[in-house]
Structure formats: structure tokens, C-alpha cells
Amino acid sequence: MDNETAEQAPPEVRQVAARFLPAAEAASLTIQKPPTIGFSGAAVWLLSPADGSPRYVLKQLPAGLPPDQIGWTHLLAQHLARVGVSTQLPLRAGIHPLTQAGHVAIDRQGRLWQCLSYLPGRPIATPTSAEVLAAVTTLATVHRAASEFVQPPPLPRPTGWQTRVLQLEQLAVAGFPRPPAEPAGQADGQAAWPELASISQRANECFFATGGPQLAARLAAQTFPRPLQPVLRDCWWAHLLFEPAPGGSRVSGIIDLDAAGIDTPAVDLARLLGSWQLEAGDPEISLVERWPAAFDCYVSLCRPAGDFPTDVQLLHDTAVVCGLDRWLHWLFREQRNFADFSRVTCRIQALLRALPAALARLQRVSTAGCQLRRPQLTPQNYDR
């Protein structure tokens, strides 16, 4: 981290840092962008002392995310830390905190920020079997601890399945979003437009050729079973960090809990294992066939009810369909801009590759008479 990079940080970033840290410390820290940025485009800065080792992460809150919801995820992170799960713990805002927990501050432009402890480690896109097993063991620890976190979130939010139902209803009528006549937005987005338009066309050809509208309608008419509890909801491979350990790697922590909420634990395992499968580019095999030891480990630790591997696979396959729909909706209907359109295109291409196998598995499940039952609440009686 050199001084030239630090000087590129807007002055208000250091001013925001001073809302969480002593003024002298905030003034002495080097401020630098992380090596990679997320898809949301929200500002993220690493704060480091003279030795260059990051100590804090300063993050702008995603647009539309209420401060009270972030306060709840901070309390959840602190609860997980008490049972040994490493997450990014929040620093208190010393000036005008916006939540009861006091961990969100506002800058002069009205934007909301949080400051978190930095976690060492790196994400692994293509893990070994041992690394997958370590990750699933950590996730089981998270779920067991989170099931005892009794404070309800401040606002009701739809579960992953409830969100999918709304998308499936639209897909049953119109298929995947199609591009408008003229591209809009930034130059690199326009450059990617032909490829994105081709992806939309191929996705719709696959969807309609395999009876996708009828399948989507059948799935949308169902409700997903299983108890609900606090879960991570965005636990994909880039949010799980590893560091070297004797004999291999160990999980060093979990980052970015902003999406945490009330849902079925199966959604976290589907998100994590599904993200690794998408990276590997081999969507034909089911998740439990690829990682049987990981499923055995999770089931032995958490004792989930019902046919848990089938639930996880169902959530992954519908996430492929609905994830592709969501990305095309953002691009073609909302015409969003993204910090790195090449990464966006790669993500959408991966979903397109996974689409035929996901649709085939969903067709088998739906035609076999699998009925998804109404959700049951955990003893904490979270109000949905």
C-alpha cells in the first residue's frame, strides 16, 4: 500500500473513519481499495496502520438496507463470536449512531457506513474435499449457534423461497427478460450487450423447449417446508475465508453478513455448495453426489428434518433459474450499472451453463409428485 493509493481515497472516507476511531488513529491510517470489489458496487475501503496490514474494513451500506437491519446482523455476529465463529465484528460509531446497537454512522452526503474488524484469509473458488468439509463443519456450527439467537429482526423480510415464488410466477408467463432495443448505461456495459442479449435468447430457448413455463407454475404453487431460524442467506464461496494450517487449510472466518435473516438452513448450504459447483462448471452431478461426506457431516451435527439433501438441491436448482432471471432483470429492465461487467458476464454465463441440468432435475421432482409443505416455525416463533 503506497501513499499514492492512499491519497486517492476521497476526503470524506477519512472523515467517516473518524466517526468510528480516535481522530489520531483515523488520521494515521492508510486507506486503500481492496483487491476485488463486490457486485453491488457499494464502496469498501481497507484501513491499515504503518505496517500495511489491514486492520479495519469501512463499508458503505447497500442502498435500501435499513440501519436497524444492519444493527441486527451486528448483534448476530457478536452472538456467533461468543461460540467461536469468526466474523467481522462491528466498531461502535462515536458520533450520531443510527441504530440501538450504535454501529452505523451517516456521512455528510447522507450515506450510511459501518466499520468492521478485518479478517485474515482468502476465499477459495475451487476447494479440495477437505476444505469443503471444513466449510460445512463451520456452517453447521453457525446454524447451531444461530438457532439460539432469540432476538427477532426488526423488519419482516421474505424468505428465499418466497422470493423465488414471485419470480417463478413471472417466468411462467413471460420467460426470461429480453433486452430492450437500445443498450444503455456505461461503455463497458454496452460492449457486453451482444453477449448478454445472446445469453437471454439461449436461456429462453432452453426454458420454453423443456416446458419451463409449466414447471415454473407448478413450483410457484408450492410452499417450502422446514423450520426457520437466523441464517446467513448469502454464504457463497467468496464470503468464506481460509488460511494455511498444519496438513492443509482451516476456515479463518465468514465475511459480509449484511443479508442475514430468517430462513431455512438449507438455503445456506445450497448457496455455498452451489457456488462452488458453478465455479467448477460441472452442473450435471447433484450436490450430494459430489460432496457426500459434507452432507453426512452436516446432518450428523445439525440433525435437519426430512430429506435434507433434496431440499438443498431444490433450492440450488431454483436459485440457478431465478438467479439468471434476476441478473437479466437488473440489466435489461432496471438497466443497472456494475463496477465490473466482465465479472457480471462470467457469472451469468455460469448460470446459463447450469440451466439445462437444473431444469431437468426440477422437472423430475415436480412430476414425481413431490409436495412442498407449509413452513413450520422454530420454537423461537419468529414472526413472519
Lowest mean pLDDT among 87-91, 113-117, 186-190, 239-243: 186-190
pLDDT number for residue 111: 86
What Å distances lie between residue 56 and 21, 89, 336, 380, CA to CA?
Answer: 10, 10, 29, 34
Which pTM value belongs to this model?
A: 0.89
Q: Check pLDDT > 50 for residue 243.
A: yes
pLDDT tens per residue across span 208-235: 999 999 999 999 998 887 789 999 999 9
Q: What is the band of 96 on the pLDDT scale with cuts at 50, 70, 90?
A: low
pLDDT number for residue 282: 86
Q: Check pLDDT > 70 for residue 193.
A: yes
**Mean pLDDT score of the chain, rounded to an integer?**
87
Q: Which amino acid makes up residue 204?
A: N
Q: Check pLDDT > 60 for residue 57.
A: yes
Q: Check pLDDT > 90 for residue 120.
A: yes
Summarize the confidence of residues 60-69 as an average pLDDT.
83
pLDDT tens per residue across span 194-206: 899 999 999 999 9
What Å distances lie between residue 65 and 44, 258, 330, CA to CA?
Answer: 16, 9, 17
Q: What is the band of 189 on the pLDDT scale with cuts at 50, 70, 90?
A: low
Q: Check pLDDT > 80 for residue 376.
A: no
Q: What percent of the chain has pLDDT over 70?
A: 88
* 150, 380 Cβ separation under 8 angstroms: yes
* 219, 168 Cβ separation under 8 angstroms: yes
Site of grid cell 431444469: 359
pLDDT number for residue 186: 57
Q: Check pLDDT > 60 for residue 139.
A: yes
Q: What is the band of 306 on the pLDDT scale with cuts at 50, 70, 90?
A: confident
Provide the b/e sequence for 143-182 (b: ≥16 CB within 10 Å): bbbbbebeeebeeeeebbbeebbebbebbbeebbbebeee
Q: Check pLDDT > 60 for residue 382.
A: no
Of residues 170 and 368, the one with the higher pLDDT is 170
pLDDT tens per residue across span 280-294: 988 999 999 999 999
pLDDT number for residue 375: 36
- Tally of CB atoms within 10 A around 328: 22
Secondary structure E strands in 216-288: 227-231, 240-245, 248-254, 261-263
Site of grid cell 417463478: 168
Q: Check pLDDT > 80 for residue 373.
A: no
Cell of 323: 438467479
Of residues 382 and 207, the one with the higher pLDDT is 207
Lowest mean pLDDT among 134-143, 151-160, 272-281: 151-160
Q: What percent of the chain has pLDDT over 90?
A: 65
Provide the b/e sequence for 11-42 (b: ≥16 CB within 10 Å): eebbebbbbbbeeeebeebbbbeeeeebebeb
Cell of 366: 415436480
Q: What is the band of 101 on the pLDDT scale with cuts at 50, 70, 90?
A: low
pLDDT number for residue 9: 75
Site of grid cell 422470493: 163
* 203, 322 Cβ separation under 8 angstroms: no
Q: Check pLDDT > 60 for residue 370.
A: no
